[in-house]
Amino acid sequence: MIKQRVVVTGMGVISPLGTDIKTFWSNLTQGTSGAGPITRFDPAGFNTRIAAEVKNFNPADFIDKKELRRMDRFTHFALAATKIALEDAGLDLTRVDRDRVGVVLGSGIGGLETLEEQHNVLLNRGPNRISPFFIPMMIPNMGAGQIAITYGLRGNNITMVSACASSNHALGESFRLLQRKEMDVVISGGSEAPITPLGIAGFIAMKALTANNNAPEKASRPFDLKRDGFLIGEGAAILILETLEHAQKREAKIYAEIIGYGTSCDAYHITAPDPSGFGAVLALKRAIQDACIEPDMVDYINAHGTSTPLGDKAEATAIKNVFGEKAQNLPVSSTKSMTGHLLGGAGGLEAIICALTIYHGIIPPTINYEYPDPECDLDVVPNQARVSPVKIALNNSLGFGGHNVVLVFKEFRK
């Protein structure tokens, strides 16, 4: 079977750096931090009191007010980002075969805010006061479900749950559906809304979060010697993926092409990465092989780069293993230094960044890089964006449970 080419024709973000692509990209390339004190709840008594929250977001701008009450915040994000992405793509869904439009999203946690609220109702008011919408608001697949319901999309509808690799898995599986021509269009990406008391307390208990409360904008410092944990974020990122044939028929704008997808599992530990980086090496090699390219053809890697001591070291080790001497001169930036870590939504946001990097020829920086770590001796594009042509970019996602996903994006040429 002849594989179809797959292209990115639209993007939408609801992020700590903005709720439209132009603002998001401007803030990203200027090295702006989305971090600040937590405002979603009172964090007094928490060891970590900072996060990268979405600002100036009114879901009623995107969703009917009656329906809003029946959705969790992560679904609000997903629907809003989808509306933005569809408008960006110029895709009128009433003019396409909606039996062949799929939705494949990723979310590592789903409706955590709803779960907490309804648990409090149970404890304080009793079981008969639980909302009938509790379960459909909470379950992680409802972001994808609500998108399909809103737009009448009857194609494949799937939700990937693989922790921080969720939305990269979603994009990879969307890529396969389109390659095989099972779908013409797939709305893909991820959404997460984990900034809740239970969410923050849980990550604190794992010792995963930074506690640099006095300088939120400096807290996330991937690959830096003084990194002490990740900065949690929230938001959604949606990409409109199409077969090239479908996109060209409607004369769509094309940002980039997806040409490779590789996955693996560390099979090592529930949260810690394999220090040898072996699982990540497998995913990198499989993605490169799937893309039918050689390692020396890669121009940029958007690293998973969470700013954790073990994670960044293992990822750097994997990159050096795969790219050898080239690794010293290969730009590898972590944009989580600015956006925070969107957990299951991270891969989608960083896929958009890869496509925009290719489209604009600007590599976003890793901010807060001050103290080089000899074990992470990569070109991390420190502190300032770099104007440079990028023809091929990789997007790394590495999740709790040992899930590894790598996507390969390429400059579009007819």
User: Does some domain include residue 304?
Assistant: yes
Does residue 283 share a domain with residue 229? no
Helix (H, G, I), strand (E, B) or coil at 149: helix
| Cα(229)–Cα(309) distance, integer angstroms | 7
Catalytic residue among 76, 164, 169, 403: 164
Kindly state whether residues 271 and 242 are assigned to the same domain: no
119 & 238 share domain: yes
Q: Which of 169, 246, 341, 403 is catalytic?
A: 341
Q: What is the pLDDT of residue 110?
A: 97
User: Both 263 and 330 in a single domain?
Assistant: yes
* Domain CATH code at residue 317: 3.40.47.10
266 and 167 co-located in one domain: no
In a domain, 275, yes or no: yes
Indicate the pTM of the whole model: 0.97
Is there a single domain that holds both residue 287 and residue 242?
no
* Residue 280 tokens, joined: 């990540």
Determine whether 341 is an active site residue.
yes
Domain co-membership, 146 together with 199: yes
Domain boundary among 197, 216, 249: 249
Residue 190, domain member (yes or no): yes
Q: Which of 76, 169, 304, 403 is catalytic?
A: 304
254 within a domain of the structure (yes/no): no
Domain assignment of residue 1, yes or no: no
- Asked if residue 312 and residue 222 are part of one domain, the reply reads no
Q: Which of 220, 249, 278 is the C-terminal boundary of a domain?
A: 249
Does residue 333 lie within any of the structural domains? yes
Reduced to 3 DSSP states, what percent helix, strand and coil does the chain have, rounded to the nearest 5?
Answer: 40, 20, 40
The CA distance from 350 to 394, in Å, is 10
Residue 180 maps to a domain: yes
**Boundary-marking domain end, from 249, 270, 299:** 249
Residues 137 and 66 in one domain: yes
Same domain, residue pair 191 and 86: yes
Domain assignment present for residue 2? The answer is no
Is residue 305 domain-shared with residue 358, that is, in the same domain?
A: yes
Looking at the structure, do residues 228 and 274 belong to the same domain, yes or no? Answer: no
pLDDT in tens, the chain (414 residues): 789 999 999 999 999 999 999 999 999 999 999 999 999 999 999 999 999 999 999 999 999 999 999 999 999 999 999 999 999 999 999 999 999 999 999 999 999 999 999 999 999 999 999 999 999 999 999 999 999 999 999 999 999 999 999 999 999 999 999 999 999 999 999 999 999 999 999 999 999 999 999 999 999 999 999 999 999 999 999 999 999 999 999 999 999 999 999 999 999 999 999 999 999 999 999 999 999 999 999 999 999 999 999 999 999 999 999 999 999 999 999 999 999 999 999 999 999 999 999 999 999 999 999 999 999 999 999 999 999 999 999 999 999 999 999 999 999 998
* Beta carbons within 8 Å of 409's beta carbon, 6+ residues apart: 8, 256, 257, 258, 259, 351, 354, 355, 358, 392, 393, 394, 395
Q: State the total domains in the chain.
A: 2
The domain containing residue 39 runs over which residues? 7-249
